[in-house]
Amino acid sequence: MKLKYIATCAGLIASSVLAFSNAPAQAFSFTNNFSGNNPKGNILLNSVKLTDGSVIDDFALVNRANIISNDLWTGGNTGAASADMGDQATIGTQQERLDNNSAVAALGNLNLNSIIDTEDSGRSVIDVFFSSAVDNLFFWERGMNSKLDIQALDASGRVIGNLLTSYSGQWQYAGYGIDTKEISGTQRVGSLGISLADLGVASPIFGVRVASRGAAYNGPDWKVAGSATSVPEPATLAGLGLVAGAIATSRRRKAGNPA
């Protein structure tokens, strides 16, 4: 009886994964709920509301970064990605010569006025990892006029799924603007939600690779967070694998020895 119950559960899990992997990929919009409206100060994310009315307030934030490549900063508006924050903000960091630690300092908080700033023609590729597995990504982009290449990363930091490019026309106004240390005025911020299906994967992910590839990308100034989710323990996954193997063996035996 227990084996039958486990087999049924395993079948349901397999069916749901298959259905999810075949789901149409489509970036989604969301509404931002935040505290603070000073473009130069802290603008703290409280929650996001999806179009179906559900509210997400449990975010997985960036806690590790690995800069794969980044055009060298040599002074002024040179180089590619740097850490930037509001003129009067107290959460975040400002660092022109970006390193892994300053990337985490910029992204690993709920201050929407703490971002990665990219120069207009800059090229950068940065892997960022979250504090827990995530099943949706929330991106913000200052200016709403740039694009990003985004790919999923597994727990080992391997690129999985497909490459998704977010275009300038996809950004939805996030309801606020920011004025950071690297600019002289307030610019509107756009937001965009990305699902696992958009990235061509069917299981929660642990990080993303974010890339700006020169002048055609128009210097994306971005921030990212994920909706935290739980993933099965390795022992549970192994157990399901053993159950699936036992079921397959049993079926083969029955097929070879008809009653």
Q: For residue 124, what pLDDT is reported? A: 98
CA 125-43-90 angle, 5° bins: 80
Q: Residue 177: name the closest of 147, 143, 145, 148 by CA.
A: 143
Number of other CB atoms surrounding residue 158 within 10 Å:
10
3-class DSSP state for residue 234? helix
Q: How far is CA 142 from CA 17, 22, 112, in A?
A: 35, 32, 10
Cβ atoms of 28 and 193 within 8 Å: the answer is yes
Q: Which residue's entry shows tokens 């490549």?
A: 69
Q: For residue 145, what pLDDT is reported? A: 95
Q: For residue 256, what pLDDT is reported? A: 52
Burial of 10 (0-12, 13-18, 19+ CB in 10 A): middle
Sign of the CA dihedral 220, 175, 62, 105?
Answer: positive
Q: What architecture (CATH level 2) is domain 25-228?
A: Sandwich (2.60)
Domain spans in the chain, listed from the N-terminal domain onward: 25-228
The low-confidence residues of the chain, meaning pLDDT below 70, are 1-26, 230-259
Q: For residue 257, what pLDDT is reported? A: 54
DSSP 216: G
Q: For residue 77, what pLDDT is reported? A: 81
pTM: 0.81
pLDDT digits (tens, 9 = 90+) for 127-170: 999 999 999 999 999 999 999 999 999 999 999 999 999 988 89
**Where do runs of H (alpha helix) occur along 49-172?**
100-107
**Alpha-carbon Rg for the chain in angstroms:** 21
Q: For residue 231, what pLDDT is reported? A: 63
Cβ atoms of 85 and 95 within 8 Å: the answer is no
Q: Which residue's entry shows tokens 């950004």?
A: 171
